[in-house]
Structure 1
């Protein structure tokens, strides 16, 4: 066997997964079909949950430095749309309706950072870790055996084969790995044609900023000048892969906005549709999927990138545990169980957004009612804000005797340092000798850390992806702790 894991696709999801695996002691190689970075306009930022994940891996300062280059356009955008002259407490948008969550909802700060910039940042990190990223290597075939996967690859130097224990497809919405492994990919066909673009507009014909529902569809201008999005309900494009021209963008923007806007220059542009699909399972034998390879949907709110990063965090430690041989038999299957449900909610909320974007009278009436509910009902706003930001995720984690069990752990003093590596952490916040005694049996794979006292919790078992597998308030139940350690991290030494 040549390598433990091959990751197909060097986008943010594939790069993060490769880093997670390497930091966990797994040999990994990344194959990328392209020889240069794709400059088509993609997600414009990472949400608070992804911020927390990457900061806990030691990337917080790098992300802040990279984001500083792109200014505060998002703050100006929400300030204008709030109507108060003050920046709105931005919780995302739903079909172009800005969400301003209640002060009781803990929304970690998001970061405006173009996807390409994030990809370069993660690429530099992966290079520092010594992980091979092979550009111009296109997966063309695969064959699964009992103990390995044989991957056929096309390169400029001719075909080659790579044998690995596991193959993970992180190769986008049109995933070759997904097709070759014959994953079922059910869903709904597209009804719309949309454009995302960064362009220069002639100031002689100003285009209002913000989100606007019109008789022909919907458009957005901002947060930075010249960043536009349009959605029209005349069916999918005749040729989605044809180059997007300046004239095509100008006509689409004129149709939707009802103005004579003039597009003078195009920096970057891409088409999209509301094609919405999800792999029936994320694993077939030794082949797995993550990110857009596992689920596709419209790009509203940049949810796809962030869901994909969380896919990588969830899968990385489980796949590493399986490769090392100490992961429980069902551990790898829990990746599908947990993440399929999360992406399923994203597919549902994007379909719902399409429903109230339509320009027909019934849909517009629903949109108007929904906008009123968002302003009047704080609970509903919090619900949608939590869902769009991934804050409401709660995994099954055995008996829920503590409110943190199954949830993402908020930032605690000392936690970022404790999670620099994608390893489980048993945090003792109450100086309990019993917790330390139990931890000894798993010390080869679980880090015991003493953290400062925190109200409401005396000990907790933290998975590498940041979710709580077990927690205690008061005297820890060591029997329950042993059970949680065994369920998630295998038998003791």
Structure 2
């Protein structure tokens, strides 16, 4: 084997997966067809859930100062993300080019090998692994291949994954501009002929998005649109002339909504846009892609190491396919609200009324677009955190302050004992090679209704989700450990 895992695609999903695999000590080669990073910034921020994910891996400091906001939207209707009470806000101005640079540096620091200018042209799977044919480099042999190569995924096409859904009905343009002053406009701001958006980025750059109603995309664009095409649409919809601006980057996208029927076929898996495409409402696509990789990385590593059975990989499809399905549902709903004609006016008015007078509706939609509504199946029980991601909890360990997020930095599982229970720790000793067994106490005040006030212990998966909690889990601790981490040593 040239590597245990070959990852195809060096975007956020592929680089995040490479880092996760290296945290677990798995050798990985990342292939990308481009000779270097493009510097393009299709995504410009992180949802609250991605901020939590980067925090638990100690990555936030690598981004420098991050501007956060509690302002969100659903289909252009404003949402107060502060009602979620999360430890982080949403990041609004981090270009995707910066995200890719940070994740590549992290993955390389951990020992990932990244080969650029290498295109995958085919692969053949057998009982022991996959032989990958590469243009621009030697062929490779690996145990698994993961396609993180975007909406037009070569890996998906070669492997024959079904990719049903709806085609794009509207083409939208995106342009990053210098030398122009425009007032900010929220995504989904409607005009008589379509929608517009303006966001200010670092370095004096303005990002615009514009979509003209009733303009389906061409059959297939082979090159980015010319800037004059974008400027013409902008003038028709806003009356403003931006033709003298300097275009830094111009692109086009549509509102297609598609998802593969399975995230794994044997030794070939998909993550990110290779598995799901949709209108990029609220930047959910890149964020969901990163979270796909965090879900997959530790599971694939455990199977490669031989500490967990191959059936653990089936939970990747079970968990993330449902997340992707809900993602497509909410972005299609937002697409209707943003791109629909006059007929959606009553729908927008009704939803605006609900958002204005019912905080529980705001919280529900805010959690959906922030990634905080995700909960995985754990076998049942009464504890309210089962299957959810562990909220950041301040702790004292051996008299020193730490947090539940910091305990996850190594990418291992964590059994957090909050009542110094030696019997409990003894029952987990057979998994100590894969799970950190930590005794700590709560540090700081918690509200009486906080479920962590009466929690004696929690078992955290490497992705931060609660797999078992006491009291309240239907299964006992050894059963939960065996389910997620394989048989005891």
Q: How far apart are the structure 2 equivalents of 1:164 and 1:3? A: 5
Q: How far apart are the structure 1 equivalents of 2:454 and 2:114? A: 44
Match of residue 410, structure 1, among 375, 384, 391? 391
- Residue 45 of structure 1 aligns to a residue whose secondary structure is coil
- Residue 311 of structure 2 aligns to a residue whose secondary structure is coil
Q: Report how far residue 105 of structure 1 moved.
A: 4.4
Match of residue 159, structure 2, among 173, 178, 181? 181
Match of residue 124, structure 2, among 143, 149, 170? 143
Q: How far apart are the structure 1 equivalents of 2:228 and 2:2? A: 50
**Are residue 209 (structure 1) and residue 207 (structure 2) matched?**
no
Which has the larger displacement, 54-63 or 29-38? Answer: 54-63
Match of residue 133, structure 2, among 152, 163, 166? 152
Q: How far apart are the structure 2 equivalents of 1:189 and 1:177? A: 20
Deviations, residues 288-321 of structure 1 (Å, cap 9, x unaligned): 0001111111111000111011101100010011
Q: Report how far residue 258 of structure 1 moved.
A: 3.8
- Residue 171 of structure 1 aligns to a residue whose secondary structure is coil
Whether the aligned pair in 2 keeps the contact of 1:150 and 1:164 (CA below 8 Å) is yes
Q: Report how far residue 359 of structure 1 moved.
A: 4.6
Q: How far apart are the structure 2 equivalents of 1:41 and 1:125? A: 19
Whether the aligned pair in 2 keeps the contact of 1:250 and 1:263 (CA below 8 Å) is no
Whether the aligned pair in 2 keeps the contact of 1:214 and 1:359 (CA below 8 Å) is no
**What TM-score do you get using the length of structure 2 for normalisation?**
0.91
Q: Report how far residue 460 of structure 1 moved.
A: 0.6
Q: Report how far residue 209 of structure 1 moved.
A: 3.3
| Cross-structure match for 1:95 | 75
Whether the aligned pair in 1 keeps the contact of 2:17 and 2:293 (CA below 8 Å) is yes
**Are residue 219 (structure 1) and residue 196 (structure 2) matched?**
yes
Please show how residues 186-265 of structure 1 align to structure 2 within 5 Å: 186-200=164-178, 202=180, 209-211=185-187, 212-224=189-201, 226-233=206-213, 234-265=215-246
- Residue 388 of structure 2 aligns to a residue whose secondary structure is coil
Please show how residues 387-406 of structure 1 align to structure 2 within 5 Å: 387-406=368-387
Q: How far apart are the structure 2 equivalents of 1:451 and 1:387? A: 32
Q: How far apart are the structure 2 equivalents of 1:238 and 1:260? A: 28
Please show how residues 302-313 of structure 1 align to structure 2 within 5 Å: 302-313=283-294
Deviations, residues 32-69 of structure 1 (Å, cap 9, x unaligned): 1101212333110112211111121121211234x4xx
Deviations, residues 370-416 of structure 1 (Å, cap 9, x unaligned): 22222122121111110001101110001223111100001112323
Whether the aligned pair in 2 keeps the contact of 1:193 and 1:272 (CA below 8 Å) is yes
| Cross-structure match for 2:483 | 487
Which has the larger displacement, 375-384 or 178-187? Answer: 375-384
| Cross-structure match for 2:97 | 116
Which has the larger displacement, 178-187 or 417-426? Answer: 417-426
Q: Report how far residue 238 of structure 1 moved.
A: 4.8
Q: Report how far residue 473 of structure 1 moved.
A: 3.4
| Cross-structure match for 1:16 | 16
- Residue 58 of structure 1 aligns to a residue whose secondary structure is coil
Match of residue 140, structure 2, among 159, 162, 166? 162
**Are residue 33 (structure 1) and residue 33 (structure 2) matched?**
yes
Please show how residues 59-98 of structure 1 align to structure 2 within 5 Å: 59-65=59-65, 67=66, 89-90=70-71, 92-98=72-78
Classify 1:284/1:47 alpha carbon distance in 2 versus 1 (closer, same or farther; 3 Å): same
Taking only aligned residues, the RMSD between alpha carbons, in angstroms, comes to 2.0
Q: Report how far residue 100 of structure 1 moved.
A: 1.4
Q: How far apart are the structure 2 equivalents of 1:208 and 1:420? A: 37
Q: How far apart are the structure 1 equivalents of 2:81 and 2:27? A: 43
Please show how residues 366-377 of structure 1 align to structure 2 within 5 Å: 366-377=347-358
- Residue 330 of structure 1 aligns to a residue whose secondary structure is helix
**What TM-score do you get using the length of structure 1 for normalisation?**
0.90
Q: How far apart are the structure 1 equivalents of 2:340 and 2:316? A: 39
Deviations, residues 139-195 of structure 1 (Å, cap 9, x unaligned): 01000001100000000xxx5211100000011111100111110000101100101
Which has the larger displacement, 94-103 or 387-396? Answer: 94-103
Whether the aligned pair in 2 keeps the contact of 1:190 and 1:235 (CA below 8 Å) is yes
Q: Report how far residue 369 of structure 1 moved.
A: 2.4
Whether the aligned pair in 2 keeps the contact of 1:276 and 1:298 (CA below 8 Å) is yes
| Cross-structure match for 1:444 | 433
Deviations, residues 347-375 of structure 1 (Å, cap 9, x unaligned): 11111111122352211222232222221
Q: How far apart are the structure 2 equivalents of 1:367 and 1:272? A: 24
Please identify which structure carries the higher strand content.
Answer: 2
Q: Report how far residue 101 of structure 1 moved.
A: 4.0
| Cross-structure match for 1:466 | 464
Q: How far apart are the structure 2 equivalents of 1:358 and 1:56? A: 37
Please show how residues 289-328 of structure 1 align to structure 2 within 5 Å: 289-328=270-309
Whether the aligned pair in 2 keeps the contact of 1:199 and 1:263 (CA below 8 Å) is no
Number of residue pairs aligned between Structure 1 and Structure 2: 466
Whether the aligned pair in 2 keeps the contact of 1:461 and 1:470 (CA below 8 Å) is yes
| Cross-structure match for 2:422 | 433
Classify 1:216/1:359 alpha carbon distance in 2 versus 1 (closer, same or farther; 3 Å): farther
